[in-house]
Structure 1
C-alpha cells in the first residue's frame, strides 16, 4: 500500500510482446469478481476515447442515434464522471489495461486520476522493453514492476478492492440474474402503483424519503399482456452509459413520473438503502408520493447518488440536473437507444 492507502500501480513488462501476456490479461477479466480488463484502441483520437473503452468494458453502450449524439459522452469530464460512477456502482476493484505503451501521457494521467478517485488497483501491461518513456510516465506514481509471466498471472488475478475514498457508497455487492431472452420489442411503462401520499403541513419543508420495510419484488407492476419481465427491463437499463439517465429511466419505469417530475427529485428523496423514492406533485410539495423500489432497481438507483457524491452536489439539490433541457432531449435519446417508450411531458 502507498502513503494514500492505495495499492501501488503494477506494471507488467511484456518485453517481447508475447500473446500469452495479453491472453492472461483478458482471461483475468471478470466483472462479477470486480476485475475489469480493457484493450484501448490507439487509433481513436477522440479526447474521451479511453473513457468510452472503459464504459464498453463495463457493459455500457453510448447512444447511437440523433443529431445530438455524444453531447455529454464526447466531453472528457462527463465521460470520466460516468466511468467513475459505474466503477463504484459495480464495485470494480481492479482495472487491467493492455497496450499502455501506446497511450499518450494525457491518457496515462487519466488512468492515474481514476485510480485515485475510485480507490482501485491499477495494473498496466507494457508490451516492449522498459525504457525512458516508461520511467517518465511513472515518475508521479508509486509502482512496482513485474517481468515474468508466472508473477504476472498472480498479479492479474488479484481481486482485493480498496475501501478508500467514496468506496463506502453502496458496499453490498449484488450479482445480477441472467436475463431471459430479449425479443427486442419496444417496452412501454407499466401502470404504476399509486404510491403512498405524504401530506406536507403548511409552512413545513418537504422532507426526504424515509426508509420503508424492504421489498423483494422483482417486477414492476403488470398491465395485462403488456407485462415485461423485470430482468429484461433491468438488462436494458444496465447498458445505459450515463448513470443519471439510467437512474431516471429506472424511476420512470417504477413510478411513471414524467420528465418534469423527475426534475424535482432531490438527492434526499431516495433513502440511503435505495428502497424508496419520493415523487413530488409539484414545486408546492402539497401531496408528494412515496414509492417502494423493487430489488432489481437498487443498483441502478444508487448510481445517481454516487454520481452526486462524486460531483459534490448537496443532498437537497436536484438529483438530475439539466434533465429538462430541450424537453429532456438527451433522456429521450437514451430511452430510444434501449427501445423504451418514455412518456411525454403533459
Structure 2
C-alpha cells in the first residue's frame, strides 16, 4: 500500500476504513459526524476493558444512555452480553439511528467484532469502522470486504450519505393520533392513581365499549374513545428517566409517570396496545373491566418505542406482555430505579408489585 493511502472496504452496509498512518483527519471527522438527532452516532470503544459486554455498553453510552455503577446496581442485569446488545439494538431501532461509526476498531477483539456485526445485522444500520492499523491485520470477518477510497473527499462523501432506512419505522416526532369523529373522552377516568378501579361506577357508554371490545388494541380503541390526557411530569425527572439504559425499565416507568397507574396494570400490555406512532397506549384492568386509553407525551414516546422494539427482537405470541420480563425477573431493579426518580414520584406505584 502506498504511504498515506486510505482504503475503505464495504461489505453490505459495513465499511472498513484502513488508515495505516493514523491520520487525525479521519478520527476528527468521525467525531464531528456524531449527531444522534440526524441518525448518525459515533461510538468510542472503552480501551483495554475486559468486561464481556463493554462494547455494547459503549454503544448505549453513545446513544445517550447511562448505566448505574456498582455491584448492586439496578443495571446489573445488563452485564449479560446478550441483554446488553439487545438493549443497544432496541434503542438503535427506536431512535432511528442509520449510521454508526467506530474509531480505533483495530483495538477490538475478534469476539467483539463478531458481536458488533451480529448487532448490525439485527439493526440494519450502516456500520463504518476506522481501522488504524495495517490492512493485513484485518480479522477474517472484515478482510473479505473491498472498496477503495483514494481521498479525504471520498470519506467526507461517505459521511454525507443519509444511510439506510431503518428496518423498523420509528415514531414520527411530535406525531399525534387524531380523534375519530364522534369520539368521546372516557368518562370517569381521573388523573389520580385510583382511576378506573374495578369497583368504581362507569357511564353506560364506557361500559358498552368495554363489553363489546374487551381486548382490542390501541388503534381500534382510538376510533371509539378519546385518550385520557397524560399527567404532567417534571422535566428534570423525565431527563433522568430518558437516560436509563434498559428500554423495558425506561418504558415501564415512563407509563407510570404519565398515567399514575400501578405497575400491576402493565401485566397485560401487549404490542398492539401501543399505537403505531406511539401516541397512545391502552392500559388494561382486571378481567378487562377497566381498560383505558392514555395519551403518550412527547418525552415518553421514544421510551415506549424502545420497549416495543425490544419486545420485537424475537417472535412472541400476540397476547404476550411487552413488560413481562422486567416485572417478572428484574422487578427489584425496576424498584431501585423508581426510588431514584424523586421528581416523578413513581416509587409507590412500583412497590405495590415488588416485595
Q: TM-score, normalised by structure 2?
A: 0.78
Please state how far the C-alpha of 1:235 moved relative to its aligned partner. 2.2
Note closer, same or farther for the CA distance 1:83–1:215 as it changes in structure 2 (3 Å cut).
farther
Please state how far the C-alpha of 1:56 moved relative to its aligned partner. 0.5
| Corresponding residue number in structure 1 for 2:188 | none
Looking at structure 1, the residues matched to 24 and 227 of structure 2 have their Cα atoms a distance apart, in angstroms, of 46
For 1:12-161, what aligned pairs fall within 5 Å after superposition?
Answer: 12-64=17-69, 67-131=72-136, 133-134=137-138, 136-139=140-143, 142-146=145-149, 148-161=151-164
Please state how far the C-alpha of 1:48 moved relative to its aligned partner. 0.6
Looking at structure 2, the residues matched to 211 and 156 of structure 1 have their Cα atoms a distance apart, in angstroms, of 43
Give the counterpart of 1:324 among 322, 327, 338: 327
Please state how far the C-alpha of 1:43 moved relative to its aligned partner. 1.2
Give the counterpart of 2:265 among 261, 265, 273: 261
Aligned residue pair count: 313
Gaps of 5+ in 2: 1-10, 176-190, 197-201
Give the counterpart of 1:333 among 333, 336, 353: 336
RMSD (CA atoms) = 3.1
What secondary structure sits across from 2:138 in the alignment? helix
Does residue 212 in structure 1 map to residue 215 in structure 2?
no
Deviations 1:279-310 (A, max 9, x none): 2222x222222222233322222221111111
Does residue 169 in structure 1 map to residue 169 in structure 2?
yes
Looking at structure 2, the residues matched to 286 and 193 of structure 1 have their Cα atoms a distance apart, in angstroms, of 15
Please state how far the C-alpha of 1:126 moved relative to its aligned partner. 0.8
Looking at structure 2, the residues matched to 216 and 208 of structure 1 have their Cα atoms a distance apart, in angstroms, of 13
Deviations 1:21-67 (A, max 9, x none): 21111011111111100120231111110000000000001123672
Q: Which has the larger radius of gyration?
A: 2
Note closer, same or farther for the CA distance 1:47–1:327 as it changes in structure 2 (3 Å cut).
closer
Does residue 286 in structure 1 map to residue 289 in structure 2?
yes
Gaps of 5+ in 1: 1-5, 176-189, 223-227
Contact 1:215/1:275 (<8 A) preserved: no
Give the counterpart of 1:314 among 300, 313, 317: 317
Looking at structure 2, the residues matched to 317 and 148 of structure 1 have their Cα atoms a distance apart, in angstroms, of 52
What secondary structure sits across from 2:248 in the alignment? helix
Please state how far the C-alpha of 1:335 moved relative to its aligned partner. 2.5
Give the counterpart of 1:247 among 235, 244, 251: 251
| Corresponding residue number in structure 1 for 2:5 | none
After the TM superposition, which of the residue ranges 301-310 and 62-71 deviates more from structure 2?
62-71
Please state how far the C-alpha of 1:215 moved relative to its aligned partner. 8.8
Q: TM-score, normalised by structure 1?
A: 0.79
Note closer, same or farther for the CA distance 1:281–1:327 as it changes in structure 2 (3 Å cut).
farther
Contact 1:192/1:221 (<8 A) preserved: no
Looking at structure 2, the residues matched to 68 and 96 of structure 1 have their Cα atoms a distance apart, in angstroms, of 29
